[in-house]
Amino acid sequence: MKKIICIAFGVFAISASAQTEAEMEKAWAAYMTPGKVHSMLASEVGSWDEEMTMWMGPGAQPQKFKMNCEISMIMGGRYQQGRHTGDMMGMPFEGISVVGYNNASGKMESTWVDNMGTGIMYMNAPYDGSSKTIEFKGDVVDPMTKKNKKFREVYTIVDENTRKMEMYDVGPNGKEYKSMEIIMKRKK
């Protein structure tokens, strides 16, 4: 016999013989309750100046841009949302990141959307709390080839008021290269 539990937009079937109702409630309470990692994400709430450097390909000349980022916690402190704005290559730029810690998987999860494309980037990273660096990995559809390709992001907590994000892409030769670096400084 199956017992159906409806949570938000998901429907989960759980074998009644495998878990008691009390065990299910305890598991869901642990899954939905923000913890220590969510507090770490909340410590970044506020306004940030961003200095962005981009390389359009391996060996390309760097291009530099200035951006702003407003970070807030959403959905009861479960997710961090960053709204990034500025000008890039002579056009207005807007991007939104959502970062969370999945209590069930023990992984950081991140999405990215911006007005320079129509896809949603998804990546995740193991997280143990002992490092000031998080290495996200994901794949994205390349607009030129229409094929999936791997990418990674290294996010470093430099100090209380400084963050560094480095993005690594795969070039036409199949080798990884650094495609972006953002230095974030908390506005005082």
Q: Give the model's pLDDT for residue 12.
A: 52
Assigned token pair, 135: 């290495």
Q: Which residue has the tokens 């937009």?
A: 9
CATH number assigned to the domain covering 37-186: 2.40.128.20
Nearest CA among 142, 134, 72 for reference residue 109? 134
Q: Which residue has the tokens 């961090």?
A: 80
- Tell whether the model's pLDDT for residue 138 goes beyond 60: yes
Domain ranges of the chain: 37-186
> Terminus-to-terminus CA distance in the chain, angstroms?
58
At residue 21, what are phi and psi to the nearest 5 degrees?
-60, -40
Q: Give the model's pLDDT for residue 4.
A: 43
Contacts of 63 (CB under 8 A, 6+ apart): 53, 54, 55, 56, 89
Q: Give the model's pLDDT for residue 13.
A: 52
* Contact predicate 123/100, CB 8 Å: no
Q: Which residue has the tokens 């193991």?
A: 126
Contacts of 64 (CB under 8 A, 6+ apart): 51, 52, 53, 54
Q: Give the model's pLDDT for residue 129.
A: 82
Distance between CA 15 and CA 12 in Å, rounded? 10
Number of other CB atoms surrounding residue 12 within 10 Å: 11
* Contact predicate 99/45, CB 8 Å: no
Q: Which helix (H) or strand (E) holds 24?
A: helix 21-32
User: Positive or negative CA dihedral for 175, 141, 143, 114?
Assistant: negative
- Tell whether the model's pLDDT for residue 126 goes beyond 50: yes
Give the pLDDT confidence of 72-125 residue by residue, as tens digits: 999 999 999 999 999 998 999 999 999 999 999 999 999 999 999 999 999 999
The residue that leads in pLDDT, 13 or 141, is 141
Q: Give the model's pLDDT for residue 3.
A: 45
**What is the Cα gyration radius of the chain?**
19
Mean pLDDT of 58-64: 94
Q: Which three-class secondary structure state does DSSP give residue 90?
A: coil
pTM: 0.87
Of the candidate ranges 11-15, 58-62, 162-166, the one whose mean pLDDT is the lowest: 11-15
Give the pLDDT confidence of 5-55 residue by residue, as tens digits: 444 444 455 544 457 888 888 999 999 999 999 999 999 999 999 999 999
